[in-house]
Structure 1
Amino acid sequence: MNQLARREPTGLIPVASYARTSEDVRQRDGHGVRNQLLINERTAREHGCTVVALYSDNGRSASKARVTRPGFDRLVTDLARGHTCDGQPVNGVVCTADDRLYRRPEDLARFLAALTTLPGRLYVDPQGVRDLYSQEGLLLAVRALDAAAAETRVRSRRLSDWHWARAVDGVPHSGPRPFGWQEDRITLHPDEARLVQQAITARIGGKAARGCRAGLV
């Protein structure tokens, strides 16, 4: 590195902790990012660092260009200026894995540019301390990006094949139960289907259709 990372009076290096999950559809309580942040705390201590700022994006993909990540954006901003909004110096980043931070070349470029704005900063993960100023460190980052991109392509292909197979088998799309159908999405719901039919008949006859769900009350 260009110089030793600046340390707190305690002798520990102040770092930012970042966590991200792509989905939180079951419990919807952010437990995934909380667990990652706890791992980051442990990783930081093991490598002579202390977490001084937390950044997270819950239920946000890093592989889709249209998805915003406010936590990642704040992290990049603070790294670029060298401190948090309250003036706390940030001399590195700790994360559970590269693909939590970036899955697209644009995000890797943003992260690297912000991190290396000042010399001597660290990037720490459970595998150890990484030097992103060195050629070897950059190569590792690019390899991680390639691996993340390959994984995204495989997942996309598997998902496409899964939907195709369901269509071939005549199985409805997964997701919330459509109104008018039972949980198997094949058998009609007797009450709801009747209301749907009434609404369709009313529309065909030029009448205003009442809210279907209202008729169940």
Structure 2
Amino acid sequence: MSKRAAIYCRISRDAEQEGLGVARQEEDCRALVAREGWTLVEPPYVDNDISASTLSKKARPAYDAMLAAARDGGVDVIVAYANSRLTRRPLELEDLITLHEQHGTLLHTVASGDDDLSTASGRMVARIKASVDAHEAEVTAERLRRAFLQKAQRGAPNQGTRPFGWGDDKVALHPKEATLLRRAIQDVIDGVPTREVARRWNAAGVTTTRGKAWNHTAVRQVLRNPRLAGWRTHQKQVARDASGERVRGVWAPMVDQATFDALQAALDGRRPRARVGGQRYLLSGIARCGVCGGGMHGYRTSRGAHAYACGSEGLGHSVTVAGVQTDALIAALVERRLADVDLAEEPVAAAEWEGEARLRAIPGQVAELMAAFNSGVLSGAVTFPQVQALEAEQAALEKARPKAPPRPVVATADAFPALDVDRQRAVVDTLVQAVVVAKAPHRGARWTPDRVEVVWR
């Protein structure tokens, strides 16, 4: 009876997902099966764009399925282009040896020869090959890690998919996506949920750069990326140069640092601590649509004034209201309210968080390690694990850092008009639950105060 042969094909990197490498392997393996006169088990088992080294954390579903088939008696021979295509992990070779001992499964390759796993000498040769393959993979990984770090320290764009908002060169801004992204950034700062941003983009036919639909998680990932403010990241952290300083990317930033910080505060559920770019309005995120209850965002009109609009576009209604008149009305009502409410007491300043000193110290330690590496005192094998450990510690501390408290709300009726917009917003937010704006009776209707209702806290 003819032996049943299963072909296994694998390649570590296939960025374009074209499958050309595994296709070549399959062609050569099919020729070997035909020469031996074995019966081919269809279809071949293929793990494309997946590493088999000890450093990889990805599962290999096709490999696992093939071993399961062999254990169930459906495969007599495993055929691969080379031993390294099967595995680069010595422990996995031991699984294949056990498979042969328990089920008689044979291993044959096109380029690496055939190891007789039934003899001590054959197993020794197979183990030597596996050890060499593992060493080769680890050396390659070390070289790639150093090359990726060097690229990051030059500020060059990351590998992989084009980032949303930038063109194919990952440097110049994408005209349409940049416009959408900048509006979304300001909307989120003003209180619009990321789910609503995802809904708008999907309704407009805009996809991710991988061609998928948006959801709030995907939107948040884009808005969390330090690339927006021009920072180069490496291993999910802002990259640092040889002196320990953060690295700027070579691309055009989407927003300035103040706007990015305000965006992160909004995503964290914190009130931004500073006005951003003169684009914040008194009632952004406080005003609510009287039809759907959604947040209203402020925008500048063609006449140079500003207005508030419902953020739930496309739901069968449109609610807008003039900003200047509405702001003036609310300001007058708040001043009147302040006459009866005491917001003049300064709270006691909070003590510095205990982890703050450690956060300040880490960049200096990174700089010392990089200086020792660049001067030849420390090797890369010693330096970079320590740098990565420090970066991980920094990320953990930044995550554990208590959210910054809102600025103290200190105001009197007399002082309120002279406060900047952010301070006025803090006062309004303290006193007002919502400002509800009713739909205008018809298009072009003049502003009237009866469209505006204040819900006090």
> What's the TM-score once normalised by structure 2's chain length?
0.38
Match of 1:41 in 2: 30
Match of 1:110 in 2: 95
- For the residues of structure 2 that align with 1:169 and 1:204, how far apart are their CA atoms? 31
Q: Is 1:124 paired with 2:114? A: no
Match of residue 79, structure 1, among 49, 70, 78: 70
- For the residues of structure 2 that align with 1:111 and 1:97, how far apart are their CA atoms? 14
- For the residues of structure 2 that align with 1:116 and 1:49, how far apart are their CA atoms? 24
Q: Is 1:21 paired with 2:11? A: yes
Contact 1:41 1:51 in 2 (8 A): no
Matched residue of 2:8: which SS? strand
For 1:46-85, what aligned pairs fall within 5 Å after superposition? 46=35, 48-54=36-42, 55-59=44-48, 60-63=50-53, 66-81=57-72, 83-84=73-74
> Which residue identity does 2:118 align to in structure 1?
Y
- For the residues of structure 2 that align with 1:131 and 1:206, how far apart are their CA atoms? 67
Cα offsets for 1:81-131 (capped at 9, x unmatched): 5x21xxxxx443322111111111231111111122255x64322354431
Match of residue 167, structure 1, among 152, 156, 160: 152
- For the residues of structure 2 that align with 1:206 and 1:91, how far apart are their CA atoms? 62
- For the residues of structure 2 that align with 1:134 and 1:67, how far apart are their CA atoms? 32
Contact 2:47 2:62 in 1 (8 A): no
C-alpha change, 1:76 and 1:172, in structure 2 (3 Å) is: same
Identity percentage of aligned residues: 29
Contact 1:20 1:33 in 2 (8 A): yes
Contact 1:77 1:114 in 2 (8 A): no
> Which residue identity does 1:80 align to in structure 2?
R
> Which residue identity does 2:27 align to in structure 1?
L
- For the residues of structure 2 that align with 1:27 and 1:196, how far apart are their CA atoms? 28
C-alpha change, 1:207 and 1:135, in structure 2 (3 Å) is: closer
Q: Is 1:93 paired with 2:40? A: no
C-alpha change, 1:23 and 1:191, in structure 2 (3 Å) is: same
**Which structure ranks higher in relative contact order (CA pairs < 8 Å, sequence separation ≥ 6)?**
1
Match of 1:205 in 2: 190
Contact 1:17 1:51 in 2 (8 A): no
Moved more, 55-64 or 137-146: 55-64
C-alpha change, 1:216 and 1:53, in structure 2 (3 Å) is: closer
- For the residues of structure 1 that align with 2:61 and 2:163, how far apart are their CA atoms? 33
- For the residues of structure 1 that align with 2:165 and 2:31, how far apart are their CA atoms? 50
C-alpha change, 1:207 and 1:62, in structure 2 (3 Å) is: closer
Match of residue 192, structure 1, among 177, 193, 197: 177
Matched residue of 1:20: which SS? strand
Distance apart, 1:31 and its partner CA:
4.4
Distance apart, 1:79 and its partner CA:
3.2
Contact 1:79 1:115 in 2 (8 A): no
Match of residue 178, structure 1, among 155, 158, 163: 163
Distance apart, 1:70 and its partner CA:
3.1
Matched residue of 1:186: which SS? coil
Matched residue of 1:138: which SS? helix
C-alpha change, 1:142 and 1:149, in structure 2 (3 Å) is: same
Contact 1:20 1:57 in 2 (8 A): yes
Match of 2:143 in 1: 158
- For the residues of structure 2 that align with 1:94 and 1:216, how far apart are their CA atoms? 46
Match of 2:415 in 1: none
Contact 1:80 1:115 in 2 (8 A): no
Matched residue of 1:173: which SS? coil
Match of 1:3 in 2: none
> Which residue identity does 2:130 align to in structure 1?
L
- For the residues of structure 1 that align with 2:81 and 2:106, how far apart are their CA atoms? 14
Match of 1:87 in 2: none
- For the residues of structure 2 that align with 1:207 and 1:44, how far apart are their CA atoms? 61
- For the residues of structure 1 that align with 2:27 and 2:39, how far apart are their CA atoms? 10
Matched residue of 1:58: which SS? strand
Contact 2:9 2:85 in 1 (8 A): yes
Contact 1:92 1:115 in 2 (8 A): no
C-alpha change, 1:162 and 1:215, in structure 2 (3 Å) is: farther
- For the residues of structure 2 that align with 1:51 and 1:147, how far apart are their CA atoms? 32
Cα offsets for 1:177-213 (capped at 9, x unmatched): 2122222222223443233222222222334564574
- The structure that has the greater radius of gyration is 2
> Which residue identity does 1:61 align to in structure 2?
S
User: CA RMSD of the aligned region, Å?
Assistant: 2.9
Contact 1:33 1:56 in 2 (8 A): no
